[in-house]
Structure 1
Amino acid sequence: MEENKLMHTDEELMKKASETKSKNTYMYSPAQLAYAGDAVYEMLVRSHIIRKNDINVNRMHRQAVKFVKAKAQAYIVSQLEDELTDDEKTIVKRGRNAKVTSSPKNVELMDYRYATGFEALFGYLYLNGQLERLMELFEKIIDIIEEKDDKNENN
């Protein structure tokens, strides 16, 4: 019950922040969408981890990495593909195909590209005020990561 109340509060805060749309979200570059999406996704991940676990900050960080590293985001996109609408797939492709001037060390370029597409999707949904859809996808992401963790623990 308390977790639902907190999740509702997150949605209200995100809604208030996203209500100041300045232009059509298709006018933003993929990099701009990814920039916003990275922050939104990070906030959701951290909120989820804090609610779910009573652990120290170092362990919380290690939990967050399972969600936010480029390889994880590329995996999530592959698992969500059948769940995405045509518009959402288009946004992911725009982000994936955006000109990349550099990528972080120790990250495969394709993983980085798909992660950028993933973050662009979250930025698009947030800036477009589609918070219900954003939260729906985030719940599926939690399931994807937890299922992957279960498989890794059993192997």
Structure 2
Amino acid sequence: MESFIETSRSIQEVKLLPPLTWAYIGDCVYELYIRTKLINETYMKPHALHIESIKYVKASAQSEILKRIYNNLTEEEKDIVRRGRNAENHHLPKNANVQEYMYATAYEALLGYLYLTKQTQRLQEILKISVD
């Protein structure tokens, strides 16, 4: 995935960002990936696309993805996941239990971290194994 939006922070600066900031960006990265994937693979009206995308982006689905791919992560990536999972979040999940929400946040933090540190090849690999 070539970045069409330039990030100007150094890797050291990205490492100092709060994990919830990584998750904030990771949520967008994953949502855009899923929406693009659905548009490329199907012909649906926007409402149907939205309904289909929810199956991928809801917290319970992201939590399951992280559990499934965890053993394929590097030690650095596992550390990012740990930091994302343990980040203090005062937001209460609507349609997930707290554990699912924590794991979904960890998954989004990983995606956001990889995006912000411009590790686009690894980001692509993780996104691909996440939905295949």
TM over 0.5, shorter chain: yes
- Cα distance in 1 between the residues matched to 2:66 and 2:74: 13
Distance 2:95 2:30 in 1: 22
Q: Please point out which of 43, 56, 70 is paired with 1:54.
A: 43
User: SS in structure 2 opposite 1:17?
Assistant: coil
Q: Is the 8 A contact 2:86 2:102 kept in 1?
A: yes
Q: 1:85 to 1:18 in 2, by over 3 A?
A: farther
Structure-2 residue corresponding to 1:108: 97
Identity of aligned residues (%): 39
CA distance in 2, matches of 1:20, 1:100: 26
What value does the CA root-mean-square deviation take over the aligned residues? Answer: 1.3
Q: Which runs of 4+ in 1 moved over 3 A?
A: none
Higher-Rg structure is 1
Report the structure, 1 or 2, having the larger helix content: 1
Q: Highest relative contact order (Cα 8 Å, sep 6+), 1 or 2?
A: 2
Q: 1:127 and 1:42 mapped to 2: Cα distance?
A: 16
Aligned length: 131
Structure 1 residue 21, shift from structure 2 partner? 2.0
Using a 3 Å threshold, how does the CA distance of structure 1 residues 130 and 23 change in structure 2: closer, same or farther? closer
Is 1:86 aligned to 2:86, yes or no?
A: no
Instruction: Assess if the C-alpha contact under 8 Å between 2:62 and 2:104 holds in 1.
Output: yes
Counterpart residue number, 1:36: 25
Structure 2: which 5+ runs fail to align? none
| AA matched with 2:56 | F
Distance 1:22-1:44 versus aligned 2 partners, 3 A rule: same
